[in-house]
Structure 1
Amino acid sequence: MSEDTVYANLKFQDSDKKEEIQKSDKCEGKGSSAASHSQHKTVMILSLLCLLRFIGMVIIGGIFYATSETEMIKSNQLQSFSEELQRNVSLQLTQNLNNTKKIKNLSAMLQNIATELCRELVNKHPEHKCKPCPKGSQWYKDSCYSEVSGHATWQQSVMFCSSQNASLLKVKNKDVLEFIKSKKLWGYWLALSPRKDHTNYETLSEKMFLSEEFEGSTYDLYTMYCGYIDGVCVYYTKCTDQRRIMCEKPASKVQVESVLNGFPDGSL
């Protein structure tokens, strides 16, 4: 083969390669352009999504802030209302307490007036219905004194008075001492503890009853001595002897209605 032929073939081959390279470059350019366009759309979509997300977050933040502000206002209003309510309740309680004290004071005053008026009525009419003591008994200060007919031993007397929710006669203070002396009682058992030894008479005094606490069933009364009153003196005798009985019990409260209503016939 001649050198010209060889050269021509090589030239032709080089020409074909160039043409293929140019075609290849053209294809790659088109492919690169399409890929770039696709990437651009993706970037745009992502950017739009990010923008929408940002806008959504701003809106949510705005709603949250507005809601928080509203709730804060409501909370402050509720707190103010609660404090005002507490002040009103405290003021009302104070007023109620003052009113209660006034009512108690007025009630006590009315009770005292009713009691004093009842005493005046009982002085005129011993069995007036306002009397806070059992029928037939005597009312003095805050106690009722009832004489019992007949005689009994000291223990029997204690048991009888106890059955009436009362106790044997005793002197609690100087006022009662003067009242008992004024009655000039003779031969009445007293609420004094039995003694083992016989004792000479003593002058009646409230001091004799200061530490007296006894239970009749705890003594061997057949060998002991019990006290009784004769005038202004206290004597001791065998507890099994029989003496007279006077029971004492606390007086009930005077009922205001009983004072106001008077006797059944309407008179006082």
Structure 2
Amino acid sequence: MHAKYSSTKDMLDDDGDTTISLHSRASTTTRRPGPEHTEHQAPSSVWRPLTLTVLTLCLVLLIGLAALGILFFQFYQLSITQQDSISQKEERLGNLSQQLQSLEAQNRKLAATLQRMAENLCRELYNKTGEHRCSPCPGKWKWRGDKCYQFYKESRSWQGCEYFCIAENSTMLKINTQEVLEFAMPQSYSEFFYSYWTGLSRNSSGKDWLWMDGTHYSSELFDIVIDFTSIRSRDCVTILNGKAFSKDCRELRRCACERTAAAVRPEWLY
């Protein structure tokens, strides 16, 4: 029996050694990392600084974006302020422009009023003396209405008078209103029957009478005396002793010219 117990103890000892041996191996296995554990730890040590670097860059970008946002907001506020200032200046400029236009309109009205007053005063002075330095017509030209007239003593054909008047910066006499008629006809009285050519003519007998500017003659103002017994062409009109006559355009008559009067200058009144 003692032998049996010893045998059993020996078996237990063997099992204990086996157990201890297994435990030792397990411990050794736990303490000594294998190749697989080493592979898992290596990537962790590599990604950690990269992660910190990326986070740092993100932080820098966020700070930069925040700074840009602040600058953009400041520029936006500045642009709004400048636009308001520009709008106010444009509004002021518009008001000044309207005021200037109003002043210019008033100035034109005042100038026109002054011109009418000067012209009326000059006419009174001219009518009293027959001539005055304020007259808007050249020397020896007669002022009537808005025209200047000159009745020359030189005799020419109708076409000759046309050229002569053009050379004097004028045209041949045109009687198209009652005022001109009342002024021109008395100029035609002459003791020696010197008549004056007018700018009235026609292309041939039976055609319409036309002034040099192409307007038609009005029989309501005056009649044209036509000598039907003459065999000559009678296509040009003269005035003599208050009447109008159709004459041969080649005959020599005196020239009557007219031109537009200049503006009366107020300083000429003094």
Which category describes the TM-score, using the shorter chain as reference length?
Answer: 0.7 to 0.9
Question: Which one of the candidate residues 229, 243, 249 is aligned to 1:239?
Answer: 249
Report the equivalent of 2:70. Answer: 66
Q: Does 2:98 align with 1:88?
A: no
Contact 2:155 2:254 in 1 (8 A): yes
| Residues 1-268 of structure 1: pairs in structure 2 closer than 5 A | 28-29=33-34, 32=37, 36=41, 38-185=42-189, 187-197=195-205, 210-211=215-216, 225-260=235-270
Instruction: Write the distance in 2 (CA, Å) between the matches of 1:64 and 1:211.
Output: 84
Q: Which has the larger radius of gyration?
A: 2
- Structure 1 letter corresponding to 2:107: I
In the comparison of the two structures, how many residue pairs are matched?
Answer: 228
Instruction: Write the distance in 2 (CA, Å) between the matches of 1:227 and 1:180.
Output: 14
- Deviation, structure 1 residue 24: 8.0
- Deviation, structure 1 residue 26: 5.4
Contact 2:185 2:243 in 1 (8 A): no
- Deviation, structure 1 residue 30: 9.2
Report the equivalent of 1:7. Answer: none
- Structure 2 letter corresponding to 1:111: Q
Secondary structure at 1:136's aligned position in 2? coil
Q: Structure 2: state its 5+ residue gaps.
A: 1-21, 218-231
- Deviation, structure 1 residue 225: 2.6
- Structure 1 letter corresponding to 2:240: D
* TM-score, length basis structure 2: 0.72
- Structure 2 letter corresponding to 1:141: G
* TM-score, length basis structure 1: 0.73
Contact 1:166 1:247 in 2 (8 A): yes
Q: Structure 1: state its 5+ residue gaps.
A: 1-17, 213-221, 261-268
- Deviation, structure 1 residue 190: 0.9
Contact 1:228 1:235 in 2 (8 A): yes
- Deviation, structure 1 residue 128: 2.2
Contact 1:122 1:128 in 2 (8 A): yes
- Deviation, structure 1 residue 245: 1.5
- Structure 1 letter corresponding to 2:83: Q
- Structure 1 letter corresponding to 2:216: S
Aligned-residue identity in percent:
24
- CA deviations 1:95-127 (Å, max 9, x no partner) are 111111111111111111111111122223434
* CA RMSD, 1 decimal: 3.3
Instruction: Write the distance in 2 (CA, Å) between the matches of 1:73 and 1:137.
Output: 74
Report the equivalent of 2:16. Answer: none
- Deviation, structure 1 residue 165: 1.1
Instruction: Write the distance in 1 (CA, Å) between the matches of 2:71 and 2:153.
Output: 91
Contact 2:150 2:257 in 1 (8 A): yes
- CA deviations 1:13-72 (Å, max 9, x no partner) are xxxxx9999878755459946972x54443331332232122112212211211121121
